[in-house]
Structure 1
Amino acid sequence: MPNKTLILGVAALSVAVTGMASPSFAAREKMTPEQRGQHMIERLDTNKDQKVSLTEFQARISDNFKTFDTNGDGQISAEEMKVKREAFREARKTWKEAKAKTGTERETALAKLREARPAMLPGLRPKAFKRVDADGNGSLSASEVSSAAEAMFKRRDKNGDGVIDAADFTKKI
């Protein structure tokens, strides 16, 4: 009889522990395409109509261009792009180290991570940089980035209605 009680107790404890652990695992699941799309719309939709127009998209790209053009010459060099990526990697490494800590060290690391995070910009990756650099001069002009952003917008606008909205992220299209 004591063995049955012990087995039942262990089984109940296992179920309880598993039940407590599963919500934390669920929180780590990857976002669905629809959730990522909604997050993107929330960030880019300046007039809050739940749609992103090409004008709103281009405005964000223009702002992002300025953050990458650190020397203010109207061009983003491959070196400026590389420095931005490296700063993000370093901030992410610091954040991972500080994640287990509490207090100001953790908050400072998170703030640096958010500041260093590369913004959405065509040509961010080295291969894409070469593709966006239409004139092949080794740097990206605002017009090259704007043209690439327009092409990116058109790819995202799956239903061709001129705006990016929730319908563009459903699997039915």
Structure 2
Amino acid sequence: MTQRTYIKAGMALMVALMMTGPAMARGDGPQRPDFTELDTNSDGQITQIEMDAHRTARFAAVDADGDGAVSAAELAAASERKNEARLERMIERFDTDGDGKLTQAEMPTRERGNMMERMDSNNDGVLDAEEYAAAHDRGHGKGHGKGKGKMKPVQE
């Protein structure tokens, strides 16, 4: 990996780590932990102290050498572990024949079929350069998310 890739991966992971508390409180955070995982004293409530402890533990898990700081290499390794786990879950979920691999027929189809429809703003069945650029500017076409600007990679 290039240094630029490490930096990008690191920044993304740091944002995820910093946003864990507020995102979990809203219930829409990445890898939202189970309630019982956060409620460490099992009193049926999650306090700010418990949220902070969880965030600290997640940071410590990324800080592989325990020096209290996270390097680009540590962030990249954590990001890679997270992606590997996500991909393993994807295979488990969609591998209908149980061979540990995904064929094209087993791949999720939610984006197929309606991607063209969302991008084709004048509904003529083809994309011209303007429609294609506009779809990319607003994040994959009409009705797809709230994204603005450049397209983002699809994430599970």
Return the structure number with greater helix share. Answer: 1
Same fold flag (TM > 0.5)? no
> Which TM-score bucket, shorter chain as reference?
0.3 to 0.5
TM, length-normalised to structure 2: 0.36
Larger RCO, structures 1/2 (Cα 8 Å, 6+ apart): 1
Rg larger in 1 or in 2? 1
TM, length-normalised to structure 1: 0.33
